[in-house]
Amino acid sequence: MTAFGILVQVTALLSGGAYVLVVADRLMSGTGSVRTALAYPVRRLSFLLLQPATTTERPDFEAWILGPALLMALAAVGAVAVPIAGPSAGGDIDAGLVLFGAAMLIVLVAVFIFGWGPNSVLPMIGGYRMAAMVLSVGIPFSLVVLTTAIPAESLSVGMIVEAQSSLWFVIVQPLGLPIYLVTAAAIAFWGPFDLPEGADLAGGVVAEASGLRLATWRFARAALMVTLSLMGQAVFLGGYLGPVLPGWLWTIVKTLVLLVLLALAGRTIARMRVQTFVWFGWVVLLPLALVDVFVSGWLAL
Amino acid sequence: MIDILLVVAAAIFGIGVYGALSQQSFVMIMMGLELMLNAALLVAITFWWASTGGNPAGQLLVIVILAVMAIEAAIGFALVTAVYRSRKADITEKLKKLRN
Amino acid sequence: MGLRARLAHLAKTGDVPVFVVVGGGYRSAVHRLRLVEGISIVASPRHASVLLIAGALTNDATGTVSHVHDQMAGPRVTVAWGHPEPSVIPVQTTVNGDVTEVATTIRRLFHDVLSGAVAPEQPLLPDVDAVEWRGVGPYGHGGAGMTGGTPYGRPLALRAPARDNLELDQLPVTVGPWFTGFPPGLALRISLQGDVAQAVEVAPTNLIQAGPAGLFTRALSEPTPIRDLEMARARHHIEWMADTLEIAGVDRLAVRADRIAGMISPGEVDPVERLVKAVRRSLLRLMTLRNVGVLPGEIDLAGLGPVVRATGVADDRRREEQAYRDLGFEPVTHSGGDAWARFSQRAAEAVQALDLAGRAGDTRAFGNGEVEAPDGLHRMGEPDPANRLVSILETVLIGSEWGDLVTTIQSLDIDMETVSVGTPAP
Amino acid sequence: MGGIGAALVVFLAALVAIGVAQWVWAVTGERDLTVPERVPFAGGVEPEFHAWNRFHIRYYAMALLFLAFDMEMVFMYPWAVVFVKEGLLALIEMLMFILILIVGMVYAWREKSFEWA
Amino acid sequence: MNPGPLSYFLVSAFGIGAVVSGWLVFRTDSMLRAAYWLMVSFVAVGAMLIVLDAQFLGLILILMMSGEMTIMAIFMILFMMNPAGLNPMTMVHQHRTSIIAGVGSFIVLAFVGVVAEFPDRPVPAGNATVALGEELLGRSMLVFESAGVALLAVMIGAIAIAAKQGRFGDAFDGSEEPSIDVETGDRS
């Protein structure tokens, strides 16, 4: 597949997934019917495109613009690492897992500069909260993803999917998927871990953003969630493997399952305190991830 | 190709030397050091790629440089914090003045 | 149809982002507005298109409301709801009806401003710099030296000693009165070091004009049916729970609480109990409230209602009322004195109130100058408990991380209607 | 170049598309804003100072811990690939790693590095 | 070794990017920008590594540096006066000497690089990551082990140095020295 083909594929996948996520989130939020929820993304986007620009007194103009652009670019790059339809169809990257891990760590940079940009205190605190969060869960996140490479003997996501042809890693590595979902929600600052955008900060990093800036940021975050679900299903749920249906359809179905799961958790679990979160990341998630590495390694021998 | 790579590495190293020598603040000096290590890393991989026939020791050297960077950064920041805490100084001149 | 018109056509059927400035007597009404489909109450004016001034404000509020108005991204429209004429700032429309009416008005104005039938409002404040800085200084940016002057119109934050010996900058910032994390009308000048409050000072404000005397105020002078009192208490506590849940990020349950608050009936405790169970499942205790906002022992909490009862003290004026004793009333208490204890306390009191209201019949209580209101003991001629809650903020908030600070303030249930602090800022 | 080249193309395409759109939007839309419209939001009161300051993070010790942990992670990537091939040796190696990480974590926990000062 | 024109183009483009962003590190007043310009420089070098068939190392460099540079930014904002550079400033000393040293080392190294002849033994095809893993668990086991232990020492040392004072008790009581008691040593 050419680079252009991959670009089109990733765009379609992320836009579609983002649409589903926004609709699901709207449905979970407690007000409104299914019909309004289905129309919600389009109407909301139309409004934001019409909204006039705002700025602050002395923003870091470039950093503020780069934030959403970088977040979107990282979500897209992460998605390239995952094969959609079958082996080597999505571009086989030998070190796909590392590419994905690097992209997800740089999300911190995007959120941090987006919070720093407006020179306003609430967004800035939001950016620093993101730093605390990613520095706490970065290691468990990388560890559980890396663990799937052990039985596959490769860092290529395609090879990892192929290694699941007999049994999905969600069964072989039972701790993997739960830890992955928790840390993924934190990296996408979603659900109970939306500390950088918390209501106690009047929106945090987006408190000063309006119009197109808000629209691109929201879209990029939804795309990031899609990318994280996409990788989650590839390394734990067997990716494109499955009976009867074509591979790409399996990928989409499994991605949507994880997306809806995350959307549900986001609206039903209370937001965690940042101090509790740091403790939770290091003292709970990290040892669990190490247990996961050990047990999976033991079983793989 | 090697020429381009080595000139680039030399340029990064030169900037690193300039930064490490000229900057007053501790953290900026560390940035200069990191740039110098960055150049070293590029040189290491250039030779690995061109002249060693794929000897994995070349790759290992890169990882060791990375580890050195991490150690330098961690201990550097820790020292800056400790110095700041005890002397309220964040630039080198202030430290000298305080010592006298 | 051009692109703009097409977008406007799509957008005007969507949610209306509303920023609400809540004045006297309208907190409950805003809870009901949140349930209306198609109205979305936002936390920052940068996301809003409609500014809703609900309830009465004093003239001192003009400055802060104008600031919020100008900070709105727009296209701007302002609606006043139950807000007496002349308004603190110029408004498009004044509504005095119920929730449905104001929602319809907001939606209509949103339609009109998007389709161009109504011109969006212009900024209210004059376009002048607060400080002369343009062209000043060596680079014309207003600054002097490395940290001096007023670069781009404001000075830089100053150094101050910190809790852990690192002497870094301290940033004094005044937050409120219309910051949605705080009770409406409360403004705090917080000296932040990073995200931790180093010092807290209640900013002098007197912005909210008290609404018409409520049920509990009337109960000071005349015996009032227990049934009405307890229903009002239950509604108050459930709405407070909705606020807490909203700030904790569980919007789904917040909406549910608001819905329950609108349709409670005497004796029917089931919906509330189920809500509390759902709250437990949302891990609110573990995630957000546990060990947050513990009040130091030296503070005198007597008469502060649920706040003192959440520390395990059965301090309740209702115990001394014969009518309540006849109903077998015994105050509920919780131990711990943290935000979770206060949440459980209010949840239990809401259930208890509904139960009492179901059994009370037509008996009346109070009327002798003292009454146990949802926020504590009210005495004739004395300031409300909220005044004391505001005065303890300056000590209990020191050293809190920002999120804990907001959680603590929310957990104390402060109503600024009857509070005035110092002389209002010019 | 294969997949990694595609990743570069996708990265640049997304960065440029979103970046340019926002840049045009901001440059054209921000011109006419008045001074009060630019005041940062903190609830209706104008800020006294610039928000940018020496932001005192409370988790600096944890940040340093992360640096070292991250480096340990770098070693684990090539190790994971050859794990099955190397067998028992790799397992022992892994135990050492886990030990190091746990010791580091426990020390930091004991030193209260995960708490706000 | 026969790189195509695309490789030449990419290496040159990333090379220029790495040098320019490295230079900008010392040209900007904002500490955030300085840290992230350094990160851009590292990412550009990482991209060059990827072009040179060291895909894993290039990506790992990017992964490491993104984390490290955010920490760098956080610490720079923590300790530098006027971290956003709202007032332009230059905090340099021995400027002329530094420039001479910088330019001098560039000329010398570039000269050596251009003039010297290196043996032409390019990387064979195959998975470099597997080779690296085998190296780590084989011949270079000692490097691997000592790096691991060194990093543990860094973890403990950095925390001990950075967070030595003021952990117990708040500013109003005055801080006290932490009690480093014997049982710590026994436990770890």
| pLDDT bracket for residue E41 (50, 70, 90) | very high
Q: What DSSP string runs through D45-103? A: S--SS-S-S----S-HHHHHHHHHHHHHHHHHHHHHHTHHHHTHHHHHHHHHHHHHHHH
d(CA A23, CA A41): 7
Q: How many helices (H) and strands (E) does chain C have?
A: 14, 15
Shortest Cα–Cα distance, E173 to chain C (Å): 10
Q: Are C152 and A209 an interchain contact pair (Cβ–Cβ within 8 Å)?
A: no
Residue A253 confidence (pLDDT) above 60: yes
Query: How many Cβ contacts (< 8 angstroms) between chains A and E?
Result: 57
Residue C425 confidence (pLDDT) above 60: no
Number of Cβ within 10 Å of residue A174's Cβ equals: 12
Q: A99-103, A198-202, B4-8, C321-325: lowest mean pLDDT where? A: C321-325
Do the domain assignments include residue C165?
no
Query: How many Cβ contacts (< 8 angstroms) between chains B and C?
Result: 5
| E175 within 8 A of E167, measured Cβ to Cβ | yes
What residue type is assigned to position C377 of the chain? Answer: L
| pLDDT bracket for residue B97 (50, 70, 90) | low
pLDDT digits (tens, 9 = 90+) for E25-36: 988 888 899 999
Q: How far is CA D105 from CA A140, C52, D2, D96, E2, in A?
A: 12, 50, 40, 14, 48
Same domain assignment for residues D12 and D43? yes
Residue E21 confidence (pLDDT) above 90: yes
Residue with tokens 């290529």: A156
What residue type is assigned to position E25 of the chain? Answer: V
CATH of the domain at B66: 1.10.287.3510
Shortest Cα–Cα distance, C398 to chain E (Å): 11
User: Measuring CA to CA, which residue among C56, C386, C51, C414 is closest to residue C207?
Assistant: C56
pLDDT digits (tens, 9 = 90+) for C213-264: 788 888 888 888 888 888 899 999 999 999 999 999 888 899 899 999 888 8
Q: A242-256, A267-281, E89-103: lowest mean pLDDT where? A: E89-103
Residue C345 confidence (pLDDT) above 70: yes
pLDDT for the residue numbered A258: 92
Range(s) of the domain holding residue D64: 58-117
| pLDDT bracket for residue B92 (50, 70, 90) | low
- Give the residue-averaged pLDDT of C21-27: 86
Shortest Cα–Cα distance, C175 to chain A (Å): 10
pLDDT for the residue numbered A184: 94
pLDDT digits (tens, 9 = 90+) for C355-410: 888 888 888 888 788 888 888 888 888 888 888 888 888 888 888 889 999 999 99
pLDDT for the residue numbered B87: 67
- Give the residue-averaged pLDDT of C1-22: 86
Query: For chain C, what is the domain count?
Result: 2
Nearest to B56 among E118, E122, E132 (CB): E132
Q: Are D71 and B73 an interchain contact pair (Cβ–Cβ within 8 Å)?
A: no
Q: Which residue has the higher pLDDT, E183 or A114?
A: A114
Beta-bridge partners for C53: C21, C80
- Give the residue-averaged pLDDT of C112-137: 85
Q: Please say which residue of C81, C115, C149 terminates a domain.
A: C115
d(CA A295, CA A300): 9
Same domain assignment for residues D46 and D75? no
pLDDT digits (tens, 9 = 90+) for A203-241: 889 999 998 999 999 999 999 999 999 999 999 998 888
Same domain assignment for residues D34 and D84? no
pLDDT for the residue numbered C422: 63
| CA R_g for chain E | 23
- Give the residue-averaged pLDDT of E126-145: 76
pLDDT for the residue numbered E14: 93
- Give the residue-averaged pLDDT of B26-41: 89
Residue E187 confidence (pLDDT) above 60: no
Query: For chain B, what is the domain count?
Result: 1
Task: Kindly tell me the sign of the dihedral angle through the C-alpha atoms of E94, E99, E105, E108.
Answer: negative
| pLDDT bracket for residue E120 (50, 70, 90) | confident
Domain extent listing, chain E: 1-83, 126-165
Residue D1 confidence (pLDDT) above 60: no
E184 φ, ψ (degrees, to nearest 5): -60, -50
User: Measuring CA to CA, which residue among A184, A178, A182, A170 is closest to residue A101?
Assistant: A184
Shortest Cα–Cα distance, B25 to chain D (Å): 15
**Chain center to CA of A179:** 14
Angle made by CA atoms C72, C78, C81, in degrees to the nearest 5: 130
What residue type is assigned to position B6 of the chain? Answer: L
Q: How far is CA C41 from CA A28, A141, A245, C141, C243, in A?
A: 17, 35, 43, 38, 12
pLDDT for the residue numbered C126: 87
- Give the residue-averaged pLDDT of D99-117: 82
pLDDT for the residue numbered B90: 60
Range(s) of the domain holding residue C357: 215-418
What residue type is assigned to position A10 of the chain? Answer: V
Chain-wide mean pLDDT for chain D? 85
Q: Is D75 on the interface with B (CB under 8 A)?
A: yes
Nearest to E129 among A94, A112, A134 (CB): A94
pLDDT for the residue numbered E80: 82
Best residue in D4, D34, D48, D72 for a mutation probing chain A (most A CBs within 10 Å): D4
Do the domain assignments include residue C34?
yes
Beta-bridge partners for C173: C190
Chain-wide mean pLDDT for chain A? 89
Nearest to E137 among D53, D90, D100 (CB): D90
d(CA C196, CA D56): 9
Q: Which residue has the higher pLDDT, B26 or A222?
A: A222
Q: C55-64, C157-166, D21-30, D42-51: lowest mean pLDDT where? A: C157-166
Q: What DSSP string runs through C65-112? A: HHHHHHH--SS-EEEEES-PSSPSS--SEEE-S-HHHHHHHHHHHHHH
Do the domain assignments include residue C56?
yes
pLDDT digits (tens, 9 = 90+) for D9-38: 999 999 999 999 999 998 888 878 888 888
d(CA A27, CA A260): 11
Residue A255 confidence (pLDDT) above 50: yes
Residue E169 confidence (pLDDT) above 60: no
Residue E185 confidence (pLDDT) above 70: no
Same domain assignment for residues D30 and D72? no
pLDDT for the residue numbered C138: 78
Residue C7 confidence (pLDDT) above 80: yes
- Give the residue-averaged pLDDT of A260-279: 89
Q: How far is CA A66 from CA A69, C211, D3, D19, D32, in A?
A: 5, 47, 25, 6, 22
Residue C39 confidence (pLDDT) above 80: yes
Strands C188-193, C196-202: pairing kind: antiparallel
What residue type is assigned to position D57 of the chain? Answer: I
Provide the token pair at D44: 């209706």
Contacts 24+ apart (CB under 8 A), C140-144: C141/E86, C141/E87, C141/E88, C143/E86, C143/E87, C143/E88, C144/E87
Helix, strand or coil, per DSSP, at residue E176:
strand
Query: For chain D, what is the domain count?
Result: 2
d(CA E96, CA A72): 43
Proportion of chain C above pLDDT 90, given as a percent? 20
CATH of the domain at C20: 3.40.50.12280
Nearest to C147 among E87, E166, E171 (CB): E87
| pLDDT bracket for residue B88 (50, 70, 90) | low
CATH of the domain at C381: 1.10.645.10
d(CA A241, CA A85): 9
Shortest Cα–Cα distance, E183 to chain B (Å): 25
Same domain assignment for residues D72 and D39? no
Q: Please say which residue of D23, D38, D55 terminates a domain.
A: D55
Residue C143 confidence (pLDDT) above 50: yes
pLDDT for the residue numbered C61: 86
Q: Please say which residue of C115, C144, C160 terminates a domain.
A: C115
Do the domain assignments include residue C144?
no
Q: Which residues of C touch B88 (CB under 8 A)?
A: 167
What residue type is assigned to position C147 of the chain? Answer: T
Residue C321 confidence (pLDDT) above 90: no
Do the domain assignments include residue C351?
yes
Instruction: Give Cβ neighbours of residue E80 (< 8 Å, ≥ 6 apart).
Output: B25, B27, B90, D54, E31
Q: Which residues of B touch E28 (CB under 8 A)?
A: none
Q: Which residues of C touch A276 (CB under 8 A)?
A: 286-287
Beta-bridge partners for E105: none
C323 φ, ψ (degrees, to nearest 5): -60, -40
Q: Are A60 and E32 an interchain contact pair (Cβ–Cβ within 8 Å)?
A: yes
pLDDT for the residue numbered E178: 37
| B70 within 8 A of E68, measured Cβ to Cβ | yes
Q: Please say which residue of C84, C115, C146 terminates a domain.
A: C115
